[in-house]
Structure 1
Amino acid sequence: MDSIQQRKTSVLMLPWLAHGHISPFLELSKKLTSRGNFHIFFCSTPVNLNSIKPKLPQKYSHCIELVELHLPYDELPELPPHYHTTNGLPPHLMPTLKKAFDMASDNFSNILKTLKPDLLIYDFLQPWAPSRALSKNIPAVQFYPSCAAMASFGNHRRCKSPSARFPFPSIYLRDYELMKFNNLGKSPSNGLSDGERVQKCTEQSCKIILIKTSREIEAKYVDYLCGLLGKVIVPVGSLVQEPLDGEGEETEIIKWLNTRERSSVVFVSFGTEYFLSKEEIQEIALGLELSNVCFIWVIRFPVGETTKIEELLPEGFMERVGERGMVVEGWAPQAKILQHSSIGGFVSHCGWSSVMESIKFCVPIISIPMHLDQPLNARLVEEVGVGLEVRRTGSGSLEREEVAKVITDVLVEKIGQILKGKAMELSENMKNKEDEEIDGVVEELRQLCRTRESSST
């Protein structure tokens, strides 16, 4: 047995400061410690680490160590420590957060120097992280917490040209989405656009790139991405967090769901970091009303905003829907809700983690993508047969009648049963593949560490 297998391999994890990135990095950390001889240093800002401590069961306390990365705030008084996260961050402060993250690169170098990890696993916006690691002879591997369809679509446009035809016609952007997508890579911070950051991060990844998906649903996109980047693309599985013991057990939501018929309720949530406009809230509300379907709807606002839900909902909405609807402000136990037998559909923005959860728990998706990778995720959801998308107008506006129609199709019509059957099939196939995928990740990471050891002797 070689020395890498005999001793613990230490891995430093550095996700971007968003919940949709921190969560899969944490789940990957858990998987690595359960399948291999790994010790994880999980690095993020104090405000993010405080939010994940309750999600870290005691059994991981000896093998996952939380490491604080402090961002400068004396130089950036508009970004106090409670804003060192994208969760609840006012959108106009996003460029400042990226700047602050960059300014923490020296602090990160000190962490590398102190911990001396065998390996760094990093995200897509911090090219300084692999650069600092590689300068210390520490192998660095990028982890994409997005789907392979999105990654291959974006890299196709970068490696070939924006006008070059993508070889998979079911993955595309509509005209009103294309402008937003093109602007994604252009927002500059510290002289680097997001597109340049992503490219530099990808280029520095040592031989392999990890990606949060399974070949059961994205084999052709994984293979195409491999050809585009010239690196081995290693799927890590769905990385869906298991609900914590007791989470949501006796909440009003679960009690309410217990009174509903099987597959009769639609769950509506747009993630932790997208905030609906008043117009979107109105059309979704009136669509829910027209559908006559029971619903639970989670609505969030930026931290510090004092808006009242009642002021944004259509006048008399709650009175008209009565007992068949529940509107929740802030947070709800999403995984617990999706697992409940009363849930028959999920109105989702199609953030990738939410898509993976929905498939794992066999819940058909009603897609209302908003921005970022979500439109491409929504196309993939339809391609693999686990959901339907709410079509918008040519200008990208939502219409209540279309919202109601798709909800009714999924919850009431026969197509809903077909979608659920496909979700159940994919869920089972992905579950059967999980251990094999993580074992593949473990072997790839160990091989990098062996290469490092042999080159330093």
Structure 2
Amino acid sequence: MFSDQRSLTILMLPWLAHGHISPYLELAKKLTTKRNFHIFICSTPVNLSSIKPKLSQKYSHCIEFVELHLPHDDLPELPPHYHTTNGLPPHLMSTLKTAFDMSSNNFSNILKTLSPDLLIYDVLQPWAPSLASLQNFPSIEFTPMGAALTSFSIQHIKNPSVKFPFPSIYLQDYEAEKFNNLLESSANGIKDGDRVQQCSARSCNIILVKTSREIEEKYIDYLSDLMGKKIVPVGTLVQEPMDQKVDEETWIMKWLNKMERSSVVYVCFGSEYFLSKEQIEEIAHGLELSKVSFIWVIRFPKAERSTRVEEVLPEGFLQRVGEKGVIMKGWAPQAKILQHSSVGGFVSHCGWNSVLESIKFGVPVIAMPMHLDQPINARLVEEVGVGVEVKRTGEGSLQREEVAKVIRDVVVEKFGEGVRKKALKISDNVNKKEDEEIDGVVEELIQACTGRGI
């Protein structure tokens, strides 16, 4: 058994998406505050350059970054600035997965050089635990997605004809085809669904999941049954707000300070989803019809970054909403905004990181899922009682009247009182449990490192 004085080295290998790398970094921070862990986070240079500023000086002695170089001579269509999902043209996604697979030799050399006590890896690289096993290192999967989504996907892969046993979690017809395509999409001759299954199967006795029993208890237990492994929740892993202030933070906080308690909705659809002109139009009209004050973050793809927001918003929209609305182009201090007492609702695409942020800060969700895991997360938000989903047409289109109605229901009307109270209650429960959950993770990792978890 290792004594507490003996430093344990962990190598982390997340998938090349910001929504995966960020939870890995937060998990690393939590672990190093609990025990003498030395953690290496491995990713491509372009990803590391965006994540390094998010690590404050106090962690510099115990968290280090390791560059993973993907082959680009063999794949000239994927230059180094595309070695990330952020800003990646969609048609190059399978090429990125192929390049990631092709980096396995480089990764094998990193394993040899660092000789860690443990590898923690993500859901799309089954070659990583295999390489660790060849070098006699234990490895554990950490999925930065929820247990409802993961169990829904695994069951769908294993038994597509069997209905998911929890009726609250389902897909609309217009969502099901996209979801199936996601699991069926392949790169380098391997379907994503198969990658997910192989990664889970190769994990030592446990799988870490970014969730809390307070939110997903029955899905954690069901996932454990499906996988035949212990599922260990790691908590919400919401990013700690950085110490240094930027100009955007100062002025938006001043604007929020002038607003009434719980009167503002924050509108944001994540860092890697871009709204169509039609969606922007319906959401804009919905916000205007709701008469609720708002902060709306609008992002454009790299090729369209010079676009002015006025060009995509309905004519005269900014003049009509006046002081009641703020449009922020590109970036906003999301965690700080959600923590502000003036914010009473989050119009969200329901990416998992955003769902957990809203839960942690007790802000009710107005759910507008767009793709990927988001529809499942939105159904969970409704089931837990911390939000309401905006219903769409049979083809999946948004309608401004419905957008306005749900915003008012959640933020203003008596109807939303239960949701607002539940959001605060769940937030309180989740926050109380965080320490205990991380302690449980630390115990499991120590066991894996000492050979009892292999």
- How far does the alpha carbon of each residue in 1:277-332 deviate from its partner, in whole angstroms, 9 at most, with x for none? 11111111111111111111111122232433222211221121111111111111
Indicate if the aligned counterparts of 1:79 and 1:93 stay in contact, CA closer than 8 A.
yes
Paired with 2:48 and 2:174, the residues of 1 have a C-alpha distance of 37
Shift of 1:417: 3.1
Indicate if the aligned counterparts of 1:350 and 1:368 stay in contact, CA closer than 8 A.
yes
Indicate if the aligned counterparts of 1:4 and 1:450 stay in contact, CA closer than 8 A.
no
Paired with 2:79 and 2:296, the residues of 1 have a C-alpha distance of 31
Determine the structure 2 residue equivalent to 1:68. 67
Q: How does 1:89-100 map to 2 (within 5 A)?
A: 89-100=88-99
Q: What letter is aligned with 1:352?
A: W
- How far does the alpha carbon of each residue in 1:181-232 deviate from its partner, in whole angstroms, 9 at most, with x for none? 1111111111111111111111111111000011111111101100011011
Determine the structure 1 residue equivalent to 2:257. 258
Shift of 1:416: 3.0
Secondary structure of the equivalent of 1:70? coil
| TM-score normalised by L of structure 2 | 0.97
Determine the structure 2 residue equivalent to 1:367. 367
Deviates more, 1:301-310 or 1:316-325: 301-310
Q: How does 1:177-256 map to 2 (within 5 A)?
A: 177-248=175-246, 250-256=249-255
1:170 to 141, 153, 168: 168
Paired with 1:190 and 1:227, the residues of 2 have a C-alpha distance of 30
- How far does the alpha carbon of each residue in 1:166-191 deviate from its partner, in whole angstroms, 9 at most, with x for none? 11111111111111111111111111
Indicate if the aligned counterparts of 1:348 and 1:368 stay in contact, CA closer than 8 A.
yes
Secondary structure of the equivalent of 2:155? helix
Paired with 2:420 and 2:55, the residues of 1 have a C-alpha distance of 31
Paired with 1:170 and 1:421, the residues of 2 have a C-alpha distance of 21
Indicate if the aligned counterparts of 1:248 and 1:254 stay in contact, CA closer than 8 A.
no
Shift of 1:251: 3.0
Q: What letter is aligned with 1:48?
A: N
Shift of 1:430: 1.3
Deviates more, 1:366-375 or 1:411-420: 411-420
Determine the structure 1 residue equivalent to 2:279. 280
Indicate if the aligned counterparts of 1:4 and 1:446 stay in contact, CA closer than 8 A.
no
Paired with 2:275 and 2:293, the residues of 1 have a C-alpha distance of 21
Cα RMSD for the two superposed structures: 1.5
| Cα 1:169–1:248 shift into 2, 3 Å | farther
Q: What letter is aligned with 1:450?
A: T
Secondary structure of the equivalent of 2:302? coil
Secondary structure of the equivalent of 1:86? coil
Report % sequence identity. 71
Q: How does 1:41-440 map to 2 (within 5 A)?
A: 41-159=40-158, 161-248=159-246, 250-305=249-304, 306-440=306-440
Shift of 1:452: 6.8
Shift of 1:248: 5.0
Shift of 1:35: 1.1
User: Structure 2, unaligned stretches of length 5 or more?
Assistant: none
- How far does the alpha carbon of each residue in 1:409-446 deviate from its partner, in whole angstroms, 9 at most, with x for none? 11111233322211111111112211111111111111
| Cα 1:4–1:87 shift into 2, 3 Å | farther
Determine the structure 2 residue equivalent to 1:25. 24
Secondary structure of the equivalent of 2:160? coil
Secondary structure of the equivalent of 1:251? helix
Indicate if the aligned counterparts of 1:265 and 1:343 stay in contact, CA closer than 8 A.
yes
Paired with 1:82 and 1:373, the residues of 2 have a C-alpha distance of 26
Q: What letter is aligned with 1:307?
A: T
Q: What letter is aligned with 1:173?
A: L
Secondary structure of the equivalent of 2:328? strand
Shift of 1:381: 0.4
Paired with 1:167 and 1:77, the residues of 2 have a C-alpha distance of 46
Paired with 1:354 and 1:247, the residues of 2 have a C-alpha distance of 21
Determine the structure 1 residue equivalent to 2:15. 16
Indicate if the aligned counterparts of 1:88 and 1:301 stay in contact, CA closer than 8 A.
no
User: Structure 1, unaligned stretches of length 5 or more?
Assistant: none
Deviates more, 1:123-132 or 1:77-86: 77-86
Shift of 1:4: 5.4
Paired with 2:138 and 2:335, the residues of 1 have a C-alpha distance of 35
Paired with 1:132 and 1:284, the residues of 2 have a C-alpha distance of 47
Does 1:39 pair with 2:38? yes
Q: What letter is aligned with 2:287?
A: L
Paired with 1:57 and 1:344, the residues of 2 have a C-alpha distance of 30
Q: What letter is aligned with 1:168?
A: F
Secondary structure of the equivalent of 1:296? strand
Determine the structure 2 residue equivalent to 1:451. 451
Deviates more, 1:242-251 or 1:66-75: 242-251
Indicate if the aligned counterparts of 1:35 and 1:439 stay in contact, CA closer than 8 A.
yes
Paired with 2:432 and 2:321, the residues of 1 have a C-alpha distance of 42
Paired with 2:76 and 2:255, the residues of 1 have a C-alpha distance of 44
- How far does the alpha carbon of each residue in 1:6-36 deviate from its partner, in whole angstroms, 9 at most, with x for none? 4111000010111111111111101111112
Shift of 1:163: 2.4
Secondary structure of the equivalent of 2:184? coil
Indicate if the aligned counterparts of 1:300 and 1:329 stay in contact, CA closer than 8 A.
yes
Q: What letter is aligned with 2:282?
A: E
| TM-score normalised by L of structure 1 | 0.96
Paired with 2:3 and 2:52, the residues of 1 have a C-alpha distance of 29
Paired with 2:162 and 2:27, the residues of 1 have a C-alpha distance of 34
Deviates more, 1:17-26 or 1:421-430: 421-430
Paired with 1:395 and 1:429, the residues of 2 have a C-alpha distance of 38
Secondary structure of the equivalent of 1:95? helix
Indicate if the aligned counterparts of 1:348 and 1:354 stay in contact, CA closer than 8 A.
yes
Deviates more, 1:131-140 or 1:90-99: 90-99
Q: What letter is aligned with 2:118?
A: L
